[in-house]
Structure formats: C-alpha cells, structure tokens
Amino acid sequence: MTRDRVQKGTLKLGGGCFKLYGAIALVGALVWACGPDPDRAYSEAISCLMALASDSSRPDVQGDAALALGRLKEPSALALLKAGFQSGQEDMAFKSAQALGELGGAEAAAALREALPGVRNPFVRAQVVVCLHRLGDDSAIPQLEAALADTTDPLRRASAASALGKVGRVSAISHLIRILETDMDFVPRSSAGVALGLLKDASAVPVLAKALREDPEEVVRIAAAESLARFGGPFAVSVLEEAFIHQTNYQLRKTLIPCLVEAKGGEAIFPALRAMFARTGNTVERSLAAEALGRLGDRGAVPLLKGVLQADTDDVVKLAAGEALGRLGEAPAMLATVHGTLVGHNNDSFQRRAAEILADYPDKPALNTFKRLLAWGENPEIRALSARGIGRNGDRSGLVPLEKALENDQDENVRLAAVGALGDMPQGDARGILSKALAGKDQTADIRAAAARALRLRNDPDALRPLFKALGDADARVRLEAALGVIQVTKGINLEKAVTSDR
C-alpha cells in the first residue's frame, strides 16, 4: 500500500517535472524567437568594441573600434583610448586622439594635454590640438601658428595649416595666405587653400582666385576651386566659370563641375557649354560639356542632347548625353539608347558605362537585362554593376538572381556587389539571405563583414539576432560591423560616420 502510494507520488512528481522542464524549454524557445534582450545585446556589443580596440593585431579594425567608442562617449573606454594614443602606432594614435576628443570630459582633455609634448608626428600633433579645441582648450593653438613658419618641415606646415582651418583660427588668415602665395612646397599650399575655405574670410577670395588661375600644381588649383565654392557669391562663381572654360587640365575641369553646383553657378557659361558639346571631333571635351550641362541643370540644352542621342556617331558622347538627359528629368528619352548599348555593344567599357547609368533608374527592360547579365555575363565588372542595378531597382523579383550570385559566382567582387544590392532591397525581403551569408562558414570574411554592414544599414530591428550572434565571429572586421549593427538596432545610434577619421 505504502509502496503504491510512493510509486503513484513519484509518477505524479515525474509528470510535474516533465511539465516544468517542458515549460522552461518553451519559454527558452520563445525568448530565442523574440531575439536577444536589447540591453544585454548592447552591453555585449560595447564589450566587443573594447576588445577590438585593445587588439593591435588588426590595426585597421583597432582604430575604427576606438573611434566608435569615442563617438558613443563610453566612459569605460578612457584608459583604453589613452593607451592607444600612446601606443606609438601612428594611425592608432591619430584615431585615439580623435576618439578622446569625441569622448570629452576633463580626464580626456588632461590625457591629450599631458601627452602633447611627446608627440613627434606633425599630423597626430595637429589632431591633438584640434581635439583640445573641441574640448574648450585653445592653449596649444599658438604652437600651430608657430609651425607655419617652420621652413625645415613642409609636412609640419601642412598639418598646422589644416588644423588651423578646422579650429576656425581667424587670426591665422594672413599666415595662411602667405603660405598659399609663397610656399615652395605644394603640400602646405594645398592645405592652406583648404583651410582658407573653412575660415571663409573675404580677404582670401582674391588669393584663392589667383591660385586657381596660376598655381602650377593641379592639387593646389583643385583645393582653391573647392574653397571658392564654399564662399559662393558672384565673384567666386565668375572665377569658377572662367576656369572651366579656359583651363585645359581635365581633372581640374571635372572637379569644377560640382564646385559650380555647390556655388549655385554655371548659368553664365551655358551657351559656351552647348557650343563645346556641339563641336565634333573631341570626345573628351564633348563628354565633359554634357556632364556639366546635366549637373548644372541647363534645360535649354535638352533638344541638343536629344538630337545627339538620336543621330551622333560617337558612342561615348551619346552615353554622356543620355546621362545628362537623365539628370535633367528626361529619362524616357535616353533609356532606350543607353539600354541598347548595354545589350548590344561589343565593347566592355561601353557596356560598363551604360550599366552605371541605368543602375540609377527603375526601368523594367533594364532590370531584366541586369538579371540576365548577372547570371550569364562574361565580364565580372559588368556582373557586379548588374547586381547593383538590381538592388537599386528594388523589385522583389531580383532577390533570387542576387541570392544565386551570392552563392555561386566565382568572383568575390560580384558576390560583394550582390550583398550590397541585397542591402538595398525592400525592408525584410533580403534579411534571411543576408543573415545566412553572415552566418555562413563557407563565406569569406569580407562577404560576412559586408553582410553585417548591409544588415546594419537597413536599420531592421529583426536583424538583431544574426548581428548579435556575429559578435562571436572569428574575424575582427566582421565583429566590428556586427557590434556597430547591434548598437544601431538597439539604441538607434547610426555609427556610419563614427569610424570615419578626420584625417
């Protein structure tokens, strides 16, 4: 009797245990289905960044992790950033200094101030002064002004000029003008030209105009043009317009186009641009003119561009005219011609150019061509561009060809392009494919890192689980991208620019 009761009791207890363990398992499954706890995930991501910022075996990742911790103003990172600043590695020292400036606070400022006398690299030294300025300490700025007079070291002059522009040191304008006008080395002249644009003092405009017209070095003329664009105004615009018409350096003239866009100029040279485009015989000149007409918004050039698109024999110029028409809101007029080049031209360079243009337009015939070229194209560059075009189009029918390219293409650049394109697809549609690539042991580290980055930039809350899991990846770059992704998903902090150095 007693034994029966004990046995019955044991059976009841056993059934209760089974139910209890089953309930625990069910709760665990539900927790996993919902994803990791956001606070725990964020804490793990910070720990991951701390570990990466301590690991000197991957200096590229180490510096980026340090920058992210500074941007997050993570107080526990102070000692680590101080150590990185004093590590002796130039890139890590530069990024750690920037991170300390982002972190802020009296201790970060003291660390920078105390270490400054021992910094020998002129660019790191200048960065420390800039960071101290951002923290409210301008005591070291006179050292930069003194460095402008150092005739023995052009890099010291260049770094000082750049830093003085960043800190807004108006009192240095006369020194910067002197550097731009008289320095024998083009590196300080270029840095002075950029700095004068940041300071935006009107006295610098005639000097920048002279540098654009007369300096023998292309890099200095480009710096002067970009600074004039920041000033804007009738005089600066007229100088930029004049330079575009009369300069002969192709790269400089190409740079002048966005400068004129920024300065809201270009209208005065529309007739000259149309004449340049209409002249036959010089493909480079005509293509450059077409680009300028499109980007500067000359609607009056539309008939001319359409005529060339239909009748000209120069395929390079026709593609340039097509792109200009697209910029001017005349996409239907150019799609058929550019698509025909993509489909039928036997020259890879023309096909590549056509693919670059069409990638920006959600055109159904182009989408179908991109799918075909991604699957069967012989040139990997064109396959990669086709993947990009499919992603930008955003049509769900592109998911399957992109997934197949990611799994099967023999060229890693094409697979990377497919990952980037999947990141451009509508929210949720590509998450599973990207998560699989991120977790895939048969994928390269570059593919896994690209997948983590694509999931991060989508800002998709449902991507938290695969990103959290990737914090344990074997590759440092993958862990960095995963940590940044977890932080963005859990806290809404976009750290895309946090790993961009001031350098």
pLDDT digits (tens, 9 = 90+) for 236-277: 999 999 999 999 999 999 999 999 999 999 999 999 999 999
Cβ-contact 200, 233 below 8 angstroms: no
Max alpha carbon distance in the chain (Å)?
A: 113
Give Cβ neighbours of residue 150 (< 8 Å, ≥ 6 apart). 156, 157
pTM: 0.86
302-311: Cβ within 8 A, 24+ apart? 302/328, 302/330, 304/274, 304/277, 304/278, 305/277, 305/330, 306/330, 306/333, 308/277, 309/333, 309/334, 309/337, 310/337
Give 503's pLDDT tier (boundaries 50, 70, 90).
Answer: low
Neighbours of 95 (CB within 10 A): 29
Q: What is the pLDDT of residues 404-424, one digit of tens each?
A: 999 999 999 999 999 999 999
Q: What is the pLDDT of residues 345-370, one digit of tens each?
A: 888 899 999 999 998 887 888 899 99
Domain boundaries, the chain: 266-354
DSSP 263: T
Burial class (CB within 10 angstroms; exposed 0-12, middle 13-18, buried 19+) of 346:
exposed
- 463 backbone φψ class: left, alpha, beta (φ>0; ψ -120 to 50): alpha
Rounded Cα gap, residues 37 and 132, in angstroms? 38
3-state secondary structure 464-488: HHHHHHHHHCCCHHHHHHHHHHHHH
- Rounded to the nearest integer, the mean pLDDT of the chain is 90
More confident residue, 437 or 28: 437
12 pLDDT exceeds 60?
no
DSSP 168: T
Distances (CA, A) of 189 to 124, 241, 270, 422: 19, 23, 32, 44
Average pLDDT of the segment spanning 142-152: 93
> Would you state the pLDDT for residue 27?
38
Rounded Cα gap, residues 312 and 321, in angstroms? 10
Q: Which CATH class is domain 266-354?
A: mainly alpha
Give 280's pLDDT tier (boundaries 50, 70, 90).
Answer: confident
Rounded Cα gap, residues 192 and 198, in angstroms? 10
What amino acid occupies position 275? Answer: A
Cβ-contact 78, 66 below 8 angstroms: no
Q: What is the pLDDT of residues 219-234, one digit of tens each?
A: 999 999 999 999 999 9
Cβ-contact 366, 358 below 8 angstroms: yes
> Would you state the pLDDT for residue 13?
39
5 pLDDT exceeds 60?
no
DSSP 254: H
7 pLDDT exceeds 50?
no
Give Cβ neighbours of residue 280 (< 8 Å, ≥ 6 apart). 286, 314
